[in-house]
Structures are given as C-alpha cells and as structure tokens.
C-alpha cells in the first residue's frame, strides 16, 4: 500500500493525459452521502477547472493515476489504497475520469481522499502544485443520520477543509455550511472559498454569489439557496520556502457536500459537530 499522502513529483506532462492545463483542481463525487452499513458506493475521482480559472464540475483530461494517492479512510482510520481498483469512465484516453466501486464496511463517516504534489504551470509560471480533494459517505444501520455521526475529521492533507457544520445540511432548516481552511495544518485568512452548486452557469471568472473570503480563523460560511451537490474549493498561492524547486507553491483543495430539501425528521437524529479544540 502506498503511504498516505505520499508526494510524487512528475513533469508537467505527467499530470493528465490530453491538453495541457493552466490550473489543476481535483474533486471527488460519490453516488450517495448516506448509506446502510455494508452497502457499496460509486466513487469518481475527477480533474477539471482548467478553463478561464472557473471552479466548476466540468472535467478536463484524465489524471495520471501513477502520480496521485487515492485512498479510502474508514471511521476507525483503516486506510485502503484504491489505485489498483480504478477504472476509466471513457474509452478516450484524454477524456473522462477514474471511478471505482467501494464497500462501506464500518458505521460512521468514511472518507475518500485524493492527493498529489508535482510541478505545474499556472498563469504562465512554473509552480509546485499541491492539490488535494476529499468526500465522505456516512453509514448507519438505518437510513436516518445518527447523532454520533461526524464529518469534521481532518485527514492531515497539506491543504484541506474541516467541515464544522452539519454533514447533512437542509434547505428546509435554512442550514449554513461552515468550513475551516487549513494549509500545512494552520488556518489561512483572506482566501476565496467557492461554494458552487452543480449545473450552474458561472461568470467568466469568479462569481461573487458563490464566494466567501476566509476570516482570521480560516472560516468561511455560506447559506445554500437550493438543494444540490456543492463543490467547495479554494486555492492559495504562496512563496516556496525551500531553496530547491519552483519559487512558488500552488495549493488547491476541494470538498463535495450534498444539500437536501428536507430536514431530519427526528431532532434526536440531528448531527452535533464540534470544531477541534472545543
């Protein structure tokens, strides 16, 4: 099994087959966010956001799976390397994405993670690209969320979101999504976080209707207006403190989250989540 968070440096052409991208963002989509224990979920590992700097759900090229770490992490921290199980979604080697079918064998929150570290080109400049993504599936003996379910677990990625609000936000309950952005385990202020619903046409560049800037604690909050799958993403560019390699680091991360129309019927089943340190 590959070591979790193994960092693999490739040439710029090793990142994806197909057209060269000016920016590289990953995300993960699961067929469901809540299942009965022992069921399976379909998991898609995607690459996109290469055109006009948009953060959206449009794929662009196929990730070189030899240059990325793809894992499942169970509720008891059991980690499984999924790279050998990945299959192409398209016969075209320059299109589609990787997908796998994964059993959910433990009650609680089970994560899927994708991580890579390589040289990229962004805005015409060579940079070190550190790109991560994650998504979760919660399993229960019933089809109702448990009060013990949590989705704020950190996976020790070099950049990631900590979900501090409900894992099952509801439009009916006027839920607010709250995330904390961490880079190298530290909260980052002043970074634009996008909360994009699937299938929405965006402005040419960034769209303020779906964006929030992180505060001094790295927190960004957003109230969704309709049920959908949301792509929560952020990018952070900073100087490389190491004497070797590119002088700039391009960090990027994403978290996918489903928002429902209705709330949990029984208040005893609502999710109670505390941020770290409380």
Q: Write the CA distances from 129 to 101, 203, 218, integer angstroms.
A: 28, 25, 21
pLDDT attached to residue 263: 61
Q: What is the pLDDT of residues 228-271, one digit of tens each?
A: 999 999 999 999 888 888 999 999 999 999 998 876 544 333 43
**What global pTM score does this model have?**
0.83
Whether pLDDT at 15 is above 60: no
Return all residues near 80 (Cβ < 8 A) that are at least 6 apart. Answer: 1, 71, 72, 74
Which of the two residues, 162 and 90, has the higher pLDDT score?
A: 162
Could you give the count of Cα atoms lying within 13 Å of 41 in the half-sphere of its Cβ? 24
**What is Dmax (Cα atoms) for the chain?**
56
Per-residue confidence band for 24, with pLDDT thresholds at 50, 70 and 90:
low
Dist CA 58 CA 27 (whole Å):
10
In contact, 218 and 180? CB cutoff 8 Å = yes
Pairing of strands 248-259, 228-239: antiparallel
Share of the chain above pLDDT 90, in %: 46
In contact, 69 and 4? CB cutoff 8 Å = yes
Dist CA 230 CA 176 (whole Å):
13
Return all residues near 101 (Cβ < 8 A) that are at least 6 apart. Answer: 40, 41, 42, 43, 85
Structure token pair of residue 140: 């229960």
């Amino acid at each position: 099994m590959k070591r979790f968070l193994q960092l693999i440096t490739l040439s710029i052409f090793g990142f994806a087959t197909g057209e060269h991208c000016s920016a590289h963002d990953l995300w993960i989509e699961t067929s469901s966010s809540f299942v009965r224990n022992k069921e399976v979920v379909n998991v898609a590992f995607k690459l996109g956001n290469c055109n006009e700097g948009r953060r959206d759900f449009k794929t662009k090229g196929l990730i070189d799976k030899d240059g990325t770490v793809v894992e499942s992490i169970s509720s008891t921290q059991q980690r499984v390397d999924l790279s050998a199980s990945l299959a192409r979604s398209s016969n075209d080697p320059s299109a589609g994405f990787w997908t796998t079918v994964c059993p959910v064998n433990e009650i609680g929150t089970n994560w899927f993670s994708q991580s890579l570290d390589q040289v990229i080109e962004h805005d015409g400049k060579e940079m070190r690209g550190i790109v991560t993504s994650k998504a979760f599936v919660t399993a229960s003996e019933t089809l109702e969320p448990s009060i013990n379910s949590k989705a704020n677990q950190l996976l020790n990625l070099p950049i990631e979101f900590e979900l501090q609000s409900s894992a099952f936000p509801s439009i009916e309950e006027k839920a607010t999504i709250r995330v904390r952005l961490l880079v190298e385990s530290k909260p980052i202020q002043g970074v634009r976080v996008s909360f994009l619903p699937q299938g929405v046409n965006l402005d040419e560049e960034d769209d303020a209707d779906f964006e929030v800037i992180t505060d001094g604690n790295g927190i960004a909050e957003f109230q969704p207006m309709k049920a959908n799958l949301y792509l929560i993403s952020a990018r952070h560019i900073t100087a490389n403190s190491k004497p070797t390699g590119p002088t700039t680091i391009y960090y990027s991360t994403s978290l996918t989250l489903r928002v429902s129309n209705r709330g949990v019927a029984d208040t005893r089943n609502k999710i109670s989540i505390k941020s770290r340190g409380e």
